[in-house]
Every structure is written in C-alpha cells, then in structure tokens.
Amino acid sequence: MTGEEMHALVARLYPLCRSITGDGVRQTLEIVGEHLPLDVHEVPTGTQVLDWTVPREWNIRDAYIKDPSGARVVDFRRSNLHVVGYSVPVSATMTLDELRPHLHTLPGQPDLVPYRTSYYAETWGFCLSQRVLDGLGAGPYEVVIDATLADGHLTYAEHVVRGRSDEEVLISCHVCHPSLANDNLAGIAVATALAARLDSTRLTYRFLFAPGTIGAVTWLARNRERTGRIVAGLTLACAGDPGALTYKRSRRGDAGIDRVMAHVLADRPHTIVDFSPYGYDERQYCSPGFDLPVGSLTRTPYAGYPEYHTSGDDPGFVTPGALAGTLEALGEAVTVLERDGRYQNLSPYGEPQLGRRGLYGSLGGRSDTKQAQLAMLWVLNQSDGEHSLLDVAERSGLPFAAVAEAAAALEGAGLLKRVGSADEPAGR
C-alpha cells in the first residue's frame, strides 16, 4: 500500500462510530479484512479477563439536540464525536440549564468538538464546540440518544504471518476510537500495510486489532501461554501526523526492539523516550507480570498536538507522506529483526584473502564499494559467536543493511557460519 492508499483507508474508516464494543468495531474489521485475512474473536459480556470483566456492548443509531424550531443544533449524523461514548439511552425535553451538566466543550479551542467517553459509569452526554454552545438560547430542547447498552460481545481480530520460527513479533493497534484519523486510524492503516507486505519471514508476525485497554487485557488473558514466544513488539498509534517519529522504550529499556528502533531511527528526525505506564497498550504488555519486550511507535505522541482527541483530528490532519514514512521505518525494523544474528568467523587467524574468493571483485562499479568493503572487514573482525550484526552496525556506524549484506556474502564464500539468533544466549 502506498501512502495515498493508506490515507484512503483512513478516510474510509473515519465516519464509522467505534467504541470498545459494538458494530462500529465489527464494520472496521470488515474493511481491514478486505486487505488481510483476519481471525475475528467475539468474547461475551461478563467474561473475566485478568482483573477486568468484559462490559456490555454499546451500539448507537442516532442522537441529537433539537432547538425550539426543530433544528438539530447538535447532530450525531454530522459527527459521531457529538455523543459521549457509551451514553445510555435518553429521550427528554430540557432547558439549557438542565442540559448544561451533560455538555462538553473546549473553551480554549472554541471551534473544535472534544472526544469524551464514559465506558464504566452509566451516564450520558453530548460534545459540541464552545462557539455553538455560546449561541444556544434558554430552550426548551428535545434531547435524544437512541442507543442500546446490553449483553453482547467484545470484538477483536488477529492476522498472523507464519514464519519459519515460532518466535513472534507483536504489532498492536487500537480500534476503539470514533472519528479520530491520526489516533487510531493511521495506526490501523500502517499496520494493515505492513502486514500485507510481509511474506516468507523467519519470525512469526502477529497483528492485533483490538479495543484499547480492555481489548489488550482480553487478548493477554486468553493467550498467556503464547506470550513467552514474543521476542519483540510495538504498539502503533498517531502514525500519520506531520511530526517526527517518536519511540517509547519497553519497560525493560534495553530489549532487542529498543535497540532495533534506536538504530533504525538514528538517521531520521526522531525522539526516543523512556517507558512510562501511561499511553497506549504497551502499558498492558509491559505490566510487570508479563514484562514483554514491547515498545510504542508514534509520530507526535498522545496529547502532544492540539488536534488530539478533537474534531481537528480529521483525515486532513493525516498526510500520505507521513504514513509512508512510518511504514518505511517499520519496514527497516522488520529487516533488522529478520536478518540480525550471531556469526562465527571460520578463518579468524589474520584477515582472510577476499580478492581470491571474488568478494572484492563482486563490488566493482558499485557506488558504495568502500562502504561494502568496510562492512566485510567489520563483520569478519566481530564475528566471534558473541556479537550480533546489530552490534557490528552500532559499533561501526554502518547501516545495518550494509552489514547484513556483507555477512550474507561472507557466508556464501564459506568464511562465516551463523551460530544463533541475536537474542539467543551464546553457546546454546
């Protein structure tokens, strides 16, 4: 998928009213399923998942506030952000004074509509711009929320790219936000594009499309035995805004994925921050009982841009170029995860003669001949069975791709032997 194709997916998903449960999530997964085969899971209301319980399912058909003339001054059909997520049904006539406790605005951003939810407390409300609120008269107003909150299911989906190894890389994005293009639809689009391009991999890649918090908790509760296979992971969100890439380290701080992302981002504008238990679902995967090697990749982080959780986070805020840039960085990370490993130099006493093996000759005419030669020398020098190719790239300052290509050439010439994965203890 190109940046334009990812942006088109964001725009198509944008009008759907998503929440932590309900038909909006199912419709979203149906559309993603046009690009990827998905295993969709339905978990019944009341199911105990770790310390949580799967809540009742919420669905909404319509909602509005009508003024005395019958005009819809707040209209769910114009934007699903106008209704507080998980609002219980309402049908009433109210004055503005009676209605005000249920109205949410952003006085500092008077033209924007905020995003608000009330998942675990039965209440209701509307979101509107401060400018619209300031123009309302005393009423009375007809207030309707045509919604249901009843026993049902929590829905999530997985797409798995089976590799030659059972070791897994987890890519997770949340599918619970309504019309917010950067936070979460950009992450969904980039994850979909990455999954669609993977084929014939060494590692197994598991893509999880789940509601935030409760979805990740549910997946963890149902897959405890699988978590031991996860060798790396990322949560994806805010993947399409114009800001520089930001990587948040795993709880461990020095996991393989932390090193991989630091290397991949080194030649791009970026920020790397330490782990904190606030943010997206990395905080579930990195809870102390699991402590998985999962970091978080965004562009501008959550709450770091004025449009965050407002109607300003629309498809116009997301750019094809930013989506493509995020995907490119992820693709490089996959390359490192796939090709990293430890090697043993089979001719370690002095420098082996590369020319008579055709290795120097094969580089003739390349624009990066000097870099390729240097990469061979570094790989030979560091391949003692203890150092990985990422170690070599970090120490030499060379691109990982050049180091990996050099290792492949040297292995083909009989000068190297692969002795283990990068994260496998030496001597195993």
177 marked ligand binding residue: yes
35 marked ligand binding residue: no
Q: If you search the block for the tokens 């590799």, which residue do you land on?
A: 163
Q: Are 72 and 128 in contact (CB under 8 A)?
A: no
Amino acid at 368: D
Amino acid at 46: G
Residue of 267, 286, 311 lying closest to 129 (CA atoms) = 311
Helix axes 320-339, 187-197, angle to 10 degrees: 50
Tokens of 108: 């500092």
Q: Are 37 and 44 in contact (CB under 8 A)?
A: no
Say how far apart CA 274 and CA 234 lie, in whole Å.
14
Q: Are 92 and 81 in contact (CB under 8 A)?
A: no
385 Ramachandran zone, left/alpha/beta (phi>0; psi -120 to 50): left
Pairing of strands 384-388, 342-345: antiparallel
Q: If you search the block for the tokens 């990293």, which residue do you land on?
A: 340
Q: Return the sign of the alpha-carbon dihedral for residues 244, 106, 313, 169.
A: positive
174 marked ligand binding residue: no
How many angstroms from the chain centroid is the CA of residue 318? 15
Q: If you search the block for the tokens 């038909």, which residue do you land on?
A: 23
Say how far apart CA 354 and CA 333 lie, in whole Å.
30
Instruction: Provide φ and ψ at 407, rounded to 5°.
Output: -65, -40
Pairing of strands 204-210, 168-174: parallel
The CA-atom distances, in angstroms, between 27 and each of 21, 117, 213, 312, 352 are 11, 20, 20, 23, 60
Residue of 59, 54, 58 lying closest to 43 (CA atoms) = 54
Tokens of 211: 């509601």
Pairing of strands 342-345, 416-420: antiparallel
Binding-site entries? 177, 183, 309
Binding-site entries for Zn(2+)? 177, 183, 309
